[in-house]
Amino acid sequence: MVTKLEQLYEGKAKKIFKTDEQSIYWVVYKDDATAFDGKKKGTIKGKGYYNNQISAHFFKYLEDKCQVPTHYVETVSETEMLVKAVEIIPIEVIARNIAAGSLAKRIGVAEGTKLKKPVLEFCYKSDELGDPMINDYHIAALELASEEELAEIKRLAWLVNEKLSAYVANFNLTLVDFKLEFGRFRGQVILADEISPDTCRFWDSTTQEKLDKDRFRRDLGQVEEAYQEVLRRIRG
C-alpha cells in the first residue's frame, strides 16, 4: 500500500495528492458541486462516494473488457482511488449522441434530438478563458497535443463512446453525452480524470428522466438520488 503525501492540486470536484510512489497519485472525490464556470456552487451529499465508485466501475470495465488504457489503479476508500501519475493533456474531449445542454442551444435543436452521427468536440482546458471550444488546428497551433496523440485521443474517445453507450444500455440508461480527459504516461496516451454523472449525461432510457448533474444545474431536485441510482444500476 502506498502512503498519501502532500496535496498537488485541488480542483472543483477532486483533490490530488502525491504518494511515496512517484508514478502514483492519490485522488479524493469531493461532495462539492459547481456549474456554469463555477458561478453556481453547492454540495451534493454522497457525491464523492458515488463518483469514486462509478468512475472505478467504468474505468475497470473499459480497461479489462474494451482495451482502453486508463489511469485507474485501485480503490482505497469510499471516496478515494489511486491513479497513474499522468501529465494531463489540457483538452476536454466531449462526445455527443443526443443534442443537450450547450449543443442544443448552439445549433438550435430541441434537447433530446438524436444526432444522425455522433459528434466529437474539443475545449481548451482553461478556467480563466472558460474552456473555449477549439479544433484540430488550434490544438496544433498551441501544441496542446502532437498529431499522433490527437489521433489516439480521437480513437479512444470513439471507442469509449461505443463501449460505454452499449454497456449502460444494459441498465436502461442512455449515454447522451460526456466529457473525457486524457493524460501522458510513459509515452502513451491514457484515459484520465473521471467518468461519472458529473461528466456524463445519463437519461433513463424509458422515461428520459435525467440521472446526472443537470439535476443540480437546473434545480430539478433528487440530485443525490440520481447519482445513487446510477451506481445502483451499474452494480446490478
Question: Interface with ligand UDP by CB under 6 A: which residues?
Answer: 92, 94, 100-103, 131, 177-179, 199-201, 213
Closest residue to ligand UDP, judged by C-beta, is 101
Residue 123 CB, shortest distance to ligand UDP, in Å, is 7
Element spanning 183, H or E: strand 173-185
Least gap, CB of 177 to ligand UDP (angstroms): 4
Task: Give the nearer residue to ligand UDP in terms of CB position, either 92 or 224.
Answer: 92
Pick the closer one to ligand UDP by CB: 90 or 101. Answer: 101
User: CA-to-CA distance for 180 and 173, rounded, in angstroms?
Assistant: 19
CA distance linking residue 182 with residue 212, whole number of Å: 22
Give CA–CA dist 34/44, Å, rounded.
10
Minimum distance from residue 145 beta carbon to ligand UDP (Å):
18
Q: Nearest to residue 80, comparing CAs of 26, 148, 25, 136?
A: 26
Q: Which is nearer to ligand UDP, 75 or 102 (CB)?
A: 102
Pairing of β 87-88 and β 173-185: antiparallel
| CA–CA dist 160, 39 (Å, integer) | 30
Residue placing its CB nearer to ligand UDP in the complex, 61 or 178:
178
**Least separation in angstroms between CB 121 and ligand UDP:** 7
Distance, CA of 92 to CA of 131 (rounded, Å): 8
Residue 69: phi and psi, rounded to 5, are -70, 130
CB of 158 to ligand UDP, least distance (A): 16
Q: Which is nearer to ligand UDP, 73 or 100 (CB)?
A: 100
